Amino acid sequence: MKKLALAVLAASLLLLTGCQSGLSDTGDPLTVEQSESLAQTRFQLASRGDTVLEISALPADDVSHVELTVTFDPVDHLAWGTMWRGPEGIAVEEAVAFSPETFAVKGESGWQSVPLESGPSTALAVVFALGSDRPENAQLLRQSDARYLGTADLDGEILHVFRAPSADGSGARTRLWVDDEGRLRRLDAGDDEQLVIRVTDTDPQPRPQGLDVGAGTGG
HSE on the CB side for 68, CA within 13 Å? 30
CATH code given to domain 7-199: 2.50.20
Contacts 24+ apart (CB under 8 A), 88-94: 88/60, 88/61, 91/65, 91/67
Res 173: pLDDT: 85
Res 169: pLDDT: 66
Determine if the pTM surpasses 0.75: yes
β-partners of residue 79 are 72, 98
Res 152: pLDDT: 95
Res 179: pLDDT: 96
Amino acid making up residue 144: S
Q: Where are the domains of the chain?
A: 7-199
Res 168: pLDDT: 75
Cα–Cα dist 86/176, whole Å: 26
Res 212: pLDDT: 79
HSE on the CB side for 133, CA within 13 Å? 8
Helix residue ranges, H only, the chain: 7-12, 32-39, 41-47, 138-143
Per-residue pLDDT of the chain (219 residues; tens, 9 = 90+): 444 455 545 545 443 433 444 799 889 999 999 999 999 999 999 999 999 999 999 999 999 999 999 999 999 999 999 999 999 999 999 999 999 999 999 998 899 999 999 999 999 999 999 999 999 999 999 999 999 999 999 999 999 999 999 877 666 689 999 999 999 999 999 999 999 999 999 999 999 988 877 644 333
